[in-house]
Amino acid sequence: MLREARKIIFSTFELKGIQADVELSHKRLLEKIQENGPSVVYILWPEEKQLLNNLVECTVFGVGDPNNRSEYKEAIRSGLEDLLDRQDFVLDEDHDDFEEEDQIIYLTPQKRNTTHPIQDLKISDNTFSRKENLQYINFKELHIQSLGGRQTFCITSTKGGVGKTTISSNLAFSLANFKQSRVCLVDFMQPHGNITTRFRINSNLSPLSWERYRKNNTILTDRQILSELVIRHPSNNLYILPGVNLGENVSVELGKYILSNLVQVFDYVVIDVGPEDMELQMQAMLMANKTFLVVDYDIATIYDTQIYIQQWNKRKLLLDKINIVVNFETAKRDKKNPITREKCKQYFSGMDIVAFMPEVEGMRGIHNDGKVIAENATHPFTQQIDKMVQQFIPDYKRVSKIGFLQRLFGSRDQND
């Protein structure tokens, strides 16, 4: 009979009453986990919440203030096994000397590679060429700040044509206007991702541009990621990683490597991924803080979605990380369609339906014009995006453009 291997315990601070391998350096902690496999990890909460995205295979306990209801709720939703009382577990409260590693990102905790192969990008006649992209980068943008509020959102579904790309594009664009947040929109749709078409981008850049770095275990810097491996939209802090071409695929290993890097650089990462590669889809969901599962008013899609949820439940994926978004709700009720908003609530009883997105006349024209609906703060679709975001980012407010008179006599943020 095989004996189950005992999980090794690690922590980033001195623990009371628990024998653990204490690693004060975040880099060293990740290296230890890489060497030993899934482990039990204790981290300080919320000071070290940014570590969670690199600890998806570990059992993670947070040490903070469980009596703070909102903090406890956030900790559990973020994936912690439990939030423990700091006074009972921290041996030394004087723990202010964390090793700041905000210039180098240690994402593949293996042997350091002294060579950094540069991926050649042959871009010609692009909307955003490599030269233009570099003009948007400055030293302030290249400095990684310990924001502690980074989140990853996965937008997916059980079939195509239900509006995943529309929702993910507008969600990412809206987040990029919030507190000057740095946002990356990732196109993991294969083989028919169309983020580049929506944003009028013509580029050879894709997830496969990262493969050489992954194979060489390269420790990427923020400068490399921002200037070489993503494209910046000129209107705000939105960056885009275009999808692969027809006949190409993103491996699960590559997808995990890309997302592990991006969450270290961006405040928010939005993933557009479909069901064509279920393993890649699952990896994106596991690494995301929240998954938005998009359905429409179609009984087949709803049934398939119910089956998917059952499969994810069998894989022990936390269902509280999955949220339902119902798309294409017509302004006038279609009396011939037996599927209504009330029926959707019944079909997904026990699940969180976070939004009913409207189908508004003229939306397709906006897409075909190369624009984003979220540019218009008063559009019904934009308002629903804002309401959805506010459920997960309580202080979220859409920043309105400020005119000369507003700047002169005072202004206020527009909260839709």
Instruction: Give 356's strand partners.
Output: 326
Q: What is the dihedral of CA 131, 132, 133, 136, to 10 degrees?
A: 120
Greater model confidence, 295 or 29:
295
Structure tokens at 107: 């994402």
d(CA 247, CA 364): 27
What confidence category does residue 366 fall into, taking pLDDT thresholds of 50, 70 and 90?
Answer: confident
Percentage of the chain lying above the pLDDT 90 cut: 29
402 has pLDDT over 60: no
User: pLDDT by residue (tens digit) across 225-240?
Assistant: 999 999 998 877 899 9
> What pLDDT shows up at residue 385?
95
**Cβ atoms of residues 205 and 242 within 8 Å:** yes
> What pLDDT shows up at residue 152?
94
Residue from 275, 304, 308, 298 nearest 344 by CA: 298
d(CA 306, CA 281): 16
Q: How many CB atoms lie within 10 A of CB 292?
A: 24
Instruction: Give 15's strand partners.
Output: 90
In angstroms, what is the C-alpha Rg of the chain?
Answer: 22
Q: Is the pTM of this model over 0.85?
A: no
User: pLDDT by residue (tens digit) across 48-102?
Assistant: 888 887 888 788 888 998 888 888 888 887 888 888 888 888 875 444 444 443 3
- Give the mean pLDDT of 305-323: 78
> What pLDDT shows up at residue 331?
64
Burial 254-277 (b: 16+ CB within 10 A, else e): bbbbbbbbbbbbbbbbbbbbbeeb
Mean of pLDDT over the chain: 77
d(CA 397, CA 387): 10
- Give the mean pLDDT of 288-313: 88
Alpha helices (H) along 78-187? 86-89, 130-135, 139-142, 164-176
385: left (phi over 0), alpha (psi -120 to 50) or beta: alpha
> What pLDDT shows up at residue 394?
82
> What pLDDT shows up at residue 262?
93
Q: Please tell me the least confidently modeled range out of 4-13, 89-98, 214-223.
A: 89-98
Dihedral sign for Cα 81, 255, 229, 151, please. Answer: negative
The one-letter amino acid code at 108 reads T
Structure tokens at 280: 């890649």
> What pLDDT shows up at residue 359?
86
> What pLDDT shows up at residue 114?
35
HSE toward the beta carbon, residue 22, CA cutoff 13 A? 14
Structure tokens at 41: 């990890």
List the strands of the sheet with 352-359, edge to edge.
Answer: 231-232, 238-241, 183-187, 268-272, 151-156, 290-295, 322-330, 352-359
Q: Strand 231-232 to strand 238-241: parallel, antiparallel, or no bridges (unpaired)?
A: antiparallel
Q: Which helix (H) or strand (E) holds 73?
A: helix 69-77
What confidence category does residue 335 fall into, taking pLDDT thresholds of 50, 70 and 90?
Answer: low
Structure tokens at 181: 């947040």
Give SS3 for 340: coil
The one-letter amino acid code at 261 reads N
111 has pLDDT over 80: no
Residue from 376, 370, 412, 359 nearest 163 by CA: 359
The one-letter amino acid code at 299 reads I
> What pLDDT shows up at residue 7?
64
Q: Please tell me the least confidently modeled range out of 11-25, 143-157, 359-373, 379-393.
A: 143-157
User: pLDDT by residue (tens digit) across 158-191?
Assistant: 988 899 999 999 999 999 988 878 999 999 998 7
> What pLDDT shows up at residue 200?
84
d(CA 197, CA 391): 30
Greater model confidence, 269 or 47:
269
> What pLDDT shows up at residue 408?
42
d(CA 116, CA 95): 34
End-to-end CA distance of the chain: 61
Burial grade of 392 (CB within 10 A; 0-12, 13-18, 19 or more): middle
d(CA 350, CA 138): 47
273 has pLDDT over 50: yes
Alpha helices (H) along 143-182? 164-176
What confidence category does residue 217 fall into, taking pLDDT thresholds of 50, 70 and 90?
Answer: confident
Q: Which helix (H) or strand (E) holds 293?
A: strand 290-295
- Give the mean pLDDT of 3-21: 69
Structure tokens at 375: 């540019």
6 has pLDDT over 70: no
Architecture of domain 130-409: 3-Layer(aba) Sandwich (3.40)
